[in-house]
Structure 1
Amino acid sequence: TPVYCKYQFYKTPVHKTEGQPHGTHVYFQDINVILLGALCPNDLKEYLAGPPMVVEVHDRDLKSEEYSRKPTLFGEDPLDTCLNLQALISPKQTENNPFESHNKMWDPYGVAQVSFADLLLGHTYLNLFVPIHSCKPKPTGQGHDSRNRKVVGFRVPTDHLQHGPMPMGNYLEANSLLKLRVDLAVPLHFRTEAPDQDLVGTQFGLIIFVFDSRKTFLLHSLLQDITMINAKALDLDSYPLRNIQQILSAFKMRVKVQDQLDLDVLTGFHLLDGKIHLFILEGLADQGLRRLWESHQSRIPKSEHGKYKVLYNSQLLFHHRLYADLETILYHVHLFKPLSLLMKHSQLYVRNVVPQDAFQALVRLHYICHHSTKLKDVVTRDLLPSSAMIKCLSQEFGMPISQEELSDEKQLALPPHPAPNLEDLRSRKSTLTFEIHAHQEPRKRFTYSQDYLSAMVEPYDWEAEQKKAEKKSRQTWLTASGFQVPGLHSHHPRLPPVGQTEEEWKENALYANVLEPVLDRKSWGWAQRHMDFDLYKKPPPFLKLPSSSALKP
């Protein structure tokens, strides 16, 4: 089909250009008018400052008539007699609905990412030259050439799609560029001095901390600030700090925090790998997040400010949380190997070795830790990993977090009983009060009524029960083959173990000092030219024995 482009600006309808003939230079002359005045100013500002818009360049779509299938009746296809043979059906062929993709087929295309962040600086026009990249390959079996399948020793044509998709385009190798122009009637000016009162308290901010693992003071102070802010939001600030940390460490989010925009809790994740600590936190911009920033600024001396990295911008506001669907309020991820060393594994870049979500999380977090200097660049380049990426990263490369790695006082000790949830926490203040008082005075009994003994509960020895639970769990770890932890490994199954030292990749290193030519390629002199031609001379047809005089008795 002719070349065309397709994109979607914010929530407007998808725009598709008219097709143009193929060539080295394709001119679309396409104009798309969008009325920005009809959009919400705050939503528009967040969209322009966020990830770039994706423009699809379709230059290798096959015509629809080439996808037509030949209709057949049951019994005409040679495979109809082997319907019960499971070896003929691959798992990838069952991932798609054949009726939905009857006359459809996936075609590769180019991708150009267009950023509008400069419009927020007051520019009225942009002349952009954006490189074109290849799109992601189709993960399912749709689009693969499955015209022939092997049946009991011979191949039978199945008369599926008449043609397979075209190969992926080499856009970068061909220096392909997408040129476009953006014009504004008037410059964009967003009012910041008088914000909308309906939006106050419902906009979220973001902050990123990156520091060395040896700075334990910064880690403990940051964890304490996060704990106190979340405790105040959940009406737990009247209890001792130790008990609050024990509850929040295993707090299960059974109610969507997205539905409660005024809940002033800090959500996000904490990544540690033995060398660095990374915190990506989000919360109400004018409340909890601002208090965390001010507390951090006042607690840390000025001499220490340049020894770690903090990315924060109070002008970047969001209307929803990114990490509200994680299992806990603060999700901890402990990598079995430092992030910088994981990125040097050559096997990591082989397709299908690790899940794509885990790979994307590693790449984005590595760039944030070692290359990003501004929060605006992190948001604009779409470097923030999603919650699904963080969960996949923890499953693939995560390890259990020991108590000493987070706090010397065991701040995040997990209680053996189920933790309270957000739904019934406010209605069960009395129950939480009873539990915490019982921890403080273990030898006394408490009751809700002096007249009925049924309301009195035996005292709960926290430490004894915790030791008993740990001993019982350790017994279940030992199996017939030794020490095993299901789901958690000291090294990734498809990457080399941690103990093996892996050298950093050097281009053409094997050709110079390791691999040698099989044959000696040195040149012969003119006086030795006959030796060069006699190397591959045919042997004589018969071997002659030496003369009898040469044989010894």
Structure 2
Amino acid sequence: MILSPIVESPSSSDIERHLNSNVTIETSTTESSNANINHVNIRFTIALAVPVESQLSTESPAPQSSTYNSGRVSETSKIQSYYRIEYSLIPGEPNIGFDIIVFRTAAKIYPDNQDSRIVLTWEDENENVWIVWNQIHKLDLSRERLLALLSHKILVKIWDGKEYCTVRTKLDKPRIGRVLNSLTSNTDEENSPKNIVQSIAQNYADKWVARPMLYKLRRKLPINIPSPSPFLQKKIDQTENARISTPLLSNVLQEKPIESLSGENNVLIDDPISNSTENQYSSLFKLTPDENEKKVEENVKRKKGTRIHRQYDEKKEKGAAQINIPSNLIFAGFKIITCRLSDDSVLPRSIYDCFVNIKIEDHQLMNEKLANEFNPLSITICHVENMPSTPVSYSELQQRCEPVYCCYQLFDQPIHQTSKKLQARNIYWNDLNLYLINLINENLMSAFRNSPILNIEIHDRDERENSRRCIGSVFGTENTDEVIGRVSGKTNLLKSKKNLEWHPHGCVKLDLSELWLGQTSLEFYIPVVPCHAPEFSSGRITNTKRTLSNENMRIQQGDFLSSGTQMKILVKLAKSLVPPIKHQLVDNRQVPITNISPFTRIVFVFSYDNTKFLISLETCIRTINAKALGFDKHPAHIQVAALSTYKLTEAQQTNDNLNIITGFHLFDDEQHLFILEGRKEEVIDVLYKQLPKPQGKNVEILYDSSVHFNERLYIKLGVDLTHIKLYRADELNLCT
């Protein structure tokens, strides 16, 4: 489930009031007296919806009491269904679970290692029974546990059936007649299950789902949603349905129900079922839970080792449905997190819907101290609008290509990829990814400060393997035709074809330089531009390059510019990267630079006939390198000979304190171009001061002393500059 980081509105107090008033139990983790550990309370609220029409039992094993009206006792004592719910809150801690026995107007909860409770239920207008349960967890979270929590997913598993419950639940014969009357009289309307469920659903609709997608939901929310405006209706019409038949995209396990696992052919899902199918299997639902359990166990035992048995074991391990809650949302600053069963999942008929609400009560888990220590940076890809439908339509793209996704990489972290969505004009992700800035390597942060550009790729035309067709072409029109005469065996030909494993996509360049100006919240609407086709060697001796053209592509590039494609991105930072200024310098003293990024670069461009400046520049470079390597006591001709044959060792190449100049020299018949690098204060500043001041305007020096780099780029070229002669004057003009 991908969630959107929307700022909390004042209406969140309603849901807090409802959640606090419900019946709860408390659990705590291992106590600790360490003062550096945060003590927080997390309230877990689960709202499970059970369709009345799919409840399996019609008879109750519980005896009737003579003190109550027989009709009333019979109605309230009927056991409708059994459920088991487990979730993992903290990595390394055991799962927290409880069983549920559902009646018509109430439910009995059996928490593990705790006393059972009876709660009221609510039946909505669609004949779904909602069971609400609160549980408060007192957690002592150390810094190490918080770091483990960052990559942890809170997984909620749901099982339907008595066979998945504990022995205590199976053997219990609950009577709820007496308790039900007291619960009904002591519960006011404000704290009723109806208000709690509707408050959670309203919070989910307002903050955790895109507005156009709210009207595309297959399972309707238990609240009244106003009719869309004409502008919103246009966006709804331009948005594809969220459901995708891809197992990797579903956060909820698409499992077959018990009926299907027990050898029957009926697959019960949320889609409408014909009357004939219902009549054919109506006898199955008339069995009691005990009979259903016995039937399932007998069938599984009889078919042990078969595919059905493996499916049964898989469901027993993973549950009939799952909800994945990314816990990094807590680091992103959310106090209340609401998740729901994925709308594109296939659920058993005995489960209609489920909400999970997590609220940090006492303190924000990421308080001011931890925010200063970690400084989380969140990047949220909200949506993209006006995706191109030319030259290939959306329907054809859905048939030939993989669903649309975005990917990017920041710092040294793995490549982050969003979920996949079907091709449409407007696509909504609300994908949040988190980085802890204070834990990033200082060299990487320095490089990010010098080049704060984030490249995001949007892939909408990644062709499927089975959709690729071999199309005949005239010899000489394909990219590999040039090398076919020089192919030695099949291996080289296959390697040349592998170069074509490239798909056209869109690109977004996100400029995050404002973060270094003190900003902590940025919102972008950036145009999407087509990517550049890659270049590959044609195989000629001249090593020329050819670029893939539209004729060589198996599917044509999308026309992002004409379509006006735009992407919305949100960037939030917990703490400013610029420290507050406590005092100002009253004199002209310069602040010394840090040693984190000691290198800088300088560029010299001058005319070809300026031999005086050329000799001076080469002399200064030779002198600095000879001194750094211990050749400065020898004559000039010996220094030149020694530097031309000197090879840097691996230790010298990785030594950041070695005061040498590396780089290369490009020249043609019109001008010279020197690109040099080295330590700023010890090398580049010395070179800049030693050079004679250029006469006239035929010398151009490009140097920014405020830009630093954490590594050398040209150290492999050695201390003797590489000289490259260009025979076409326009090649050097292109470089400059």
Structure-2-length-normalised TM-score: 0.36
Query: Per residue, is there more strand in 1 or in 2?
Result: 2
TM-score (norm 1): 0.47
